[in-house]
Structure 1
Amino acid sequence: MEIAVIGVNHHLAPIEIREKVSFTESRKDEAVRTLKDYNIDEMVILSTCNRSEFYFSSNHINEGIEHVCDYLTQYAQCDNLKKYLIIKKDADAVRHLYKVTAGLDSLVIGEDQILGQVKDALQYAMNSFHSGKLLNKLFRDAITKAKQVKNTYKISENPTSISYVGLKMLKNEIKTLEGKKALIIGAGNMGSLTLRYIMDENLEKVYLTNRTHNKLNILLNDFKEVVPIPYEDRYDYLDEVDILITTTASPHIIFKKEKMPVLNKKLYILDLALPRDVEKEISEIDNVKLYDIDDLTKVIDKNIDYRRQLIEPIMEIIDSGVCEFYQWKCTTKLDPTIEQLQIRCEEIKRDTLDYIYKKTDITIKDRKIIEKMMNSALKKSIQKPISNLKKIDDHEKLDDYITMVNELFGM
């Protein structure tokens, strides 16, 4: 079983392309259902504001890569999508996931949201039975190594999320956020982080709205001074506020040029959503300054140089993780042999117990004791050989031993 990753990210694909390859949970389900018909065994889809990547395993990996490329091209309705795709397989794919999870492949090196997003992607894949033993192990190991990186090098000790960098960019443009008024749309993870950061800037008033009320009410309980407004009234506040920040997961535009009011003062709009929340033509309106995620690359983080210095020692941790994963993966060759040995032990136990029960007259209590003793003895008889087989690093030598064991036991 081999592993590959295919997708788009901020390195190669502009936001106009990335938003075409964005996946909601229902669309993830549809993609997996479709692609599992093409010899793809397991899949985890990671879809964030800066990337949409398909991690998958297959015994026919090259065919799988072709099918996933074709699917994404059709999904995005973009004939030239392939020039924006990253395509990696085997150790390169595994290493890529480790780097992504540790924040090394992010727009801002070390950003602290991606680890949670990778966890969520794995959990959803597991809950939906999209992933299995191989990818579950890979993602868990990547998450473990990312935590080790963060604890060892404190790479995310200072705020580094997309929302933080976006606010920093606005602050550079406006000079100060103190005394300003802002409207935040969205109460998910990005909206929550944005609100937490902006509340430290001494604004005069912060309005908040969301399409649904559950998440909104949670944030309002934490921030009593925030003013909630009805979602359908969002346009009515645009002439009052200085800043509009959108962070929704809506698949559709929620601010259209044709519905915009006349603005009598400057309005700074920060669209942190993917797909974008704000129609790009709104930037043509007088008094509007519109920014999206791709504009964040223009912000110079004072900690970036420090983080880049840490890449080399962090890559040592990642490379060791890749090696450890492949050592484990090599031992999975033993799974069919171990399963057959366990079946053989069960057959021996059943035949032996049947013989004992026919030839002796023992109580039910004694039968349970004998069964327990036989289970323990048979388990011990294969435990040590299996343990020794798992310690073999030489792939060819392991293959020879597997063949030998199968022949010796007639499996």
Structure 2
Amino acid sequence: MEIAVVGIDHNKAPIDLREKTSFITCSSKEKAIEALKSNGVEEVVILSTCNRSEIYFCAKDVDRTIPQVVELYQSKTDLDIKDYITVKRDRDAVKHIFCVAAGFESLVLGEDQILGQVKEAMENSIKKKHSKKILNKLFRSAITFSKGIKSKYKISENPLSISYVGLKLLKNEIGSFKDKKVLIVGVGNMGMLALKYIIEEFPKGIYITNRTHKRLETISNYNEEVIPVPYEKRYDYMKEVDIVISATSSPHIIFKKEKMPRLMKTLYILDIALPRDVEKEMENIERVKLFDIDDLKAVVAANENYRKKVVNSAISEINEKVEEFYCWKVDASLDPIIGYIEEKCNKIRNETMSYIENNTRVSEEDRISIERFLTSQLKETFKNPIIDIKKSQGNKKKIGQKSHWASVGRSWGD
């Protein structure tokens, strides 16, 4: 069984393309997974965030499967994606998820959200039985590794996030928030992080809204300075505020140009959702300054040297974990063969002991001694063949499971 990952991320693809090729809804994920499983894919995990959409999978023939996965992405857009798609397999694919989980591949180095997103992707696949032994082990190993890396290199001592970098961009544009009114749309992780950072800037007023009003009730208890407002009145408040930060998980545009009120002052809009919440044409409205996730790249560019330093320091540990995983995978791939050998050994022992008990007179003490001796000899007989099989796999000899099965079968006369 081989491992591969196919995906599109912020390193190559602009936000327009990431939007179209995302698997943000449960139904789109399920449809893609079922299509792959019907074509021989054994295990699948889909990771879809604002900056990446990736399909991790296990199959017996990844050469045949990779084009099918690429076609899933291509079917979502008329644009030729060959220059934007990333394909990795075997150790490169394993290494990739370790780097992704640790935040090394994020727009913001070490950002905290990605670890939760990787964990959620894994748990969803486990729950729906799309992920099994191999990908379960891989994702759990990557999650555990990333926690250790963040602690060791103190990546999260000054926690960064898309929300934090977005507010830094706005601060560069505006200066101070102290005389500004802010509307936050969405109370998910990014919305709540934005709220946390905004409160620390002491703005003149903070409004917050969400499609589901029930979740707003808990926000008013969070801080008395935060004013919940009805979602359906979100356009009305755009006339009053200076800044709008939109971070919902809506699959559709929630701010359209045609519905915008006439503005009497400059309105700064930060759209950190994917798919985007704000219609792109709104940037053409007089007094509107619109920013999306791709505009954050210039802000994080200064972080790039530090990113390279941390990744270079951690690369040997990543490689070590990759090899550790592959050693486990080799052993796991031999489980059916070793199980078969053990089953045959048990059968021989049971049949031999049954013959002895039915055709000879032995004391209970002798019977126990004979059974122990027989068990020991059977283990010893097949100890070296099992070691040889593991060595041949570990040394990457292209013998393969079929040859191992044939060898074992000849040993038993099967």
TM-score interval w.r.t. the shorter chain?
A: 0.7 to 0.9
Distance 1:223 1:327, change over 3 A: same
Paired residue for 1:408, among 390, 402, 411? 411
Matches within 5 A, 1:295-306: 295-300=295-300, 303-306=303-306
Deviates more, 1:194-203 or 1:294-303: 294-303
Do 2:108 and 2:300's aligned partners in 1 also have CA atoms closer than 8 Å?
A: no
Q: What amino acid sits opposite 1:52 in the alignment?
A: S
Asked if 2 retains the 8 angstrom alpha-carbon contact of 1:192 and 1:219, the reply is no
The alpha-carbon distance between structure 1 residues 240 and 338, as it changes in their structure 2 partners (threshold 3 A), is same
SS in 1 for 2:57: strand
- With over 3 angstroms needed to count, the CA separation of the structure-2 counterparts of 1:202 and 1:349, relative to structure 1, is farther
Partner SS, residue 84 of structure 1: coil
Spell out the pairing of 1:59-70 with structure 2 (5 A cutoff): 59-70=60-71
The alpha carbon displacement at 1:380 in A equals 12
2:237 is equivalent to residue 242 of structure 1: no
Aligned partner of 2:74: which letter?
A: T
- 2:101 corresponds in structure 1 to 101
CA contact 1:149–1:317 (8 Å) conserved in 2:
no
Q: Does 1:289 align with 2:289?
A: yes
Question: How far apart, in 2, do the equivalents of 1:79 and 1:380 lie?
Answer: 65
Distance 1:303 1:13, change over 3 A: closer
Question: In the alignment, what sits opposite 2:227?
Answer: 227
* CA shift in 2, pair 1:255/1:356, >3 Å: farther
Task: State the TM-score, normalizing by the size of structure 2.
Answer: 0.87
What amino acid is the match of 1:251? P
Deviations 1:153-207 (A, max 9, x none): 0112212111100011001110011131111111111111111111111012111
Counterpart for residue 202 of structure 2: 202
Instruction: Kindly provide the CA deviation profile for residues 350-404 of structure 1, in whole angstroms up to 9, marking residues without a partner as x.
Output: 7689889999xxxxxxxxxx9xxx99x9799759949957974434499687765
Matched, 1:123 2:123: yes
Alignment of 1:70-219 (within 5 A): 70-74=71-75, 76-219=76-219
**Matched residue, 2:333:** 333
CA–CA distance in structure 2, aligned partners of residues 60 and 356 of structure 1: 48
Structure 1 304/356 Cα, relative in aligned 2: closer, same or farther at 3 Å?
Answer: same
Q: 2:112 & 2:123 partners in 1: Cα distance?
A: 18
> What's the secondary structure of 1:12's corresponding residue?
coil
Question: Does the CA contact (< 8 Å) of 1:337 and 1:406 recur in 2?
Answer: no
Worse-matched range after superposition: 330-339 or 30-39? 330-339
Whole-angstrom CA distance in 1 between matches of 2:376 and 2:6:
42
Evaluate the alpha carbon distance shift between residue 186 and residue 244 of structure 1 in structure 2; reply closer, same or farther with a 3 A threshold: same
Q: Distance in 1 between matches of 2:302 and 2:377?
A: 59
Cα displacement (A) at 1:141: 1.2
Unaligned runs of 5+ in 1: 360-369
Letter in 2 for 1:299: V
Distance in 1, Cα, partners of 2:157 & 2:12: 28
Residue type matched to 2:44 in 1? M
CA-to-partner distance for each residue in 1:304-355, whole Å, 9 max, x for gaps? Answer: 4333322211111111111111111111231111332343366568768988
Contact kept, 8 Å, 1:389 with 1:398, in 2: the verdict is: no
What's the CA shift for 1:142?
1.3
Q: Partners of 1:344 and 1:217 in 2: how far apart? A: 64
Answering whether residue 35 of structure 2 is matched by residue 34 of structure 1, we say: yes
Instruction: Give the aligned CA root-mean-square deviation in angstroms.
Output: 3.0
Distance 2:277 2:10 in 1: 18
1:113 partner letter: Q
Letter in 1 for 2:3: I
Unaligned runs of 5+ in 2: 360-366
Residue type of the alignment partner of 1:228: P
Deviation at 1:108, TM superposition (A): 1.7
Asked if 1:6 is matched to 2:42, the reply is: no
Q: 2:52 corresponds to which residue?
A: 51
Distance 2:146 2:311 in 1: 13
Q: CA 1:62–1:218 in 2, change beyond 3 Å: closer, same or farther?
A: farther
SS in 2 for 1:203: coil
| Partner SS for 1:252 | coil
